[in-house]
Amino acid sequence: MAANGDVKTGASRFDPNFTQNVINAMGPKTSPRMREVMTSLTRHLHDFAREVELTVDEWTEGVALLNWAGQMSNERRNEGQLVCDIVGLETLVDEITYKKASEATDLATQSAILGPFFQTDHKVRKKGESVIEKLPEDAQVAYVHGQVVDATSKKPIANASIDIWEASTNGLYEQQDAEQPKSNLCGKYYTDENGEYAFYCLRPTPYPIPYDGPAGKLLQLLDRHPYRPAHIHLIVLAEGYKPITTQIFDKSSKYLDNDSVFAVKDSLVVEFLPRDGDDKAKNQLKYDIHMAPLTSQGESGEGLVTTGMGRGF
């Protein structure tokens, strides 16, 4: 395609057998799923390079960006994931993965991306306890509560676990910020016998994703801002139900229409209301979580490669 959008003629100037030769190089021990994924990836990658007539200089810059992402990544920073996020890949993969679940019971709470700041060892907290271990001066506190229920029968689900995590008002998660105590603004809760949960947290505020690396460079080249709308992350697990990884977004937040990582879904936008008679919180949110029962097949997939960096829960 030319810069003006017209399709260029002359694709046949390139070796018509080259892509198939690369695909045919896979050996018989390649697993069927790996073969399927790599065949498609090779085709799309080669078609992309031919379509834009990628130059050696451009390809070299792309490789340098990937290398930079790798060099910047460590257990506190996942730059590869950030690069995927700003091109919408994590959101797309999330949509593809959970589409089946939502088709089966469209009453279940929708999923949203995990993002790079989930920690697997959240402190277990009692119902009603606060996740705030250091209260910023400019923060507002919110009381968040609700019920975890079966999406079909609406029966309460006892002993469901709810991991929650959020950024502070300086835009940083606990593990990004030496000034925040360990376990600040995150926690793991369990529903009681009525399926109810409750916690105090900061009313979330918008923040920029880290933009001092390749993801930021890419955003700058694309003339885009790095901000995410105010949100709280949740992972909800219960025996016999499909796990839910999601985020809830404050209706009054900026950036709901232009989240830098494209994660907002209408059903996840929530309204915080004023709270009276509670000297711990001026805001409140009632939020029920609807879980879809597990069906017997197709609920888990085997990975293509084992990196040890899966969701880990």
188 contacts 208 by C-beta, under 8 angstroms: no
CB of 212 to Fe ion, least distance (A): 17
DSSP-derived pairing of the beta strands 207-208 and 227-228? antiparallel
In three state form, how does the secondary structure of 44-95 look?
HHHHHHHHHCCCHHHHHHHHHHHHHHHHHCECCECHHHHHHHHCCHHHHHHH
Closest to ligand BEZ by CB, 117 vs 200, is 117
CA angle 163, 78, 201 (to 5 degrees): 30
Structure tokens given for 126: 């009692």
User: How many of the chain's residues bind ligand BEZ (CB under 6 A)?
Assistant: 9
Does position 139 interact with ligand BEZ (CB under 6 A)? The reply is no
Closest CA to 135 of 179, 101, 195: 179
Closest to ligand BEZ by CB, 81 vs 102, is 81
Does position 117 interact with ligand BEZ (CB under 6 A)? The reply is yes
CB of 117 to ligand BEZ, least distance (A): 4
Residue of 69, 82, 234, 248 that binds ligand BEZ (CB under 6 A): 82
What residue number has its CB nearest to Fe ion?
Answer: 115
Binding-site string for Fe ion from residue 103 to residue 142, where x marks contact by CB under 5 A and - marks none: ------------x---------------------------
Among the listed ranges 63-71, 115-123, 129-137, 156-164, the one in contact with ligand BEZ (CB under 6 A) is 115-123
CB of 63 to ligand BEZ, least distance (A): 23
CB of 308 to ligand BEZ, least distance (A): 21
Does position 199 interact with ligand BEZ (CB under 6 A)? The reply is no
CB of 234 to ligand BEZ, least distance (A): 12
Residue of 65, 79, 83, 85 that binds ligand BEZ (CB under 6 A): 85
CB of 247 to ligand BEZ, least distance (A): 7
For residue 214, the surrounding DSSP H or E stretch is: helix 214-221
Does position 209 interact with ligand BEZ (CB under 6 A)? The reply is yes
CB of 54 to ligand BEZ, least distance (A): 27
Does position 164 interact with ligand BEZ (CB under 6 A)? The reply is no
Task: Write the CB contacts of 4 (distance below 8 Å, at least 6 apart in sequence).
Answer: none
Does position 261 interact with ligand BEZ (CB under 6 A)? The reply is yes
Closest to Fe ion by CB, 195 vs 206, is 206
Residues of the shown chain interacting with ligand BEZ in the complex, contacts defined by CB under 6 A: 82, 85, 113, 115-117, 209, 228, 261
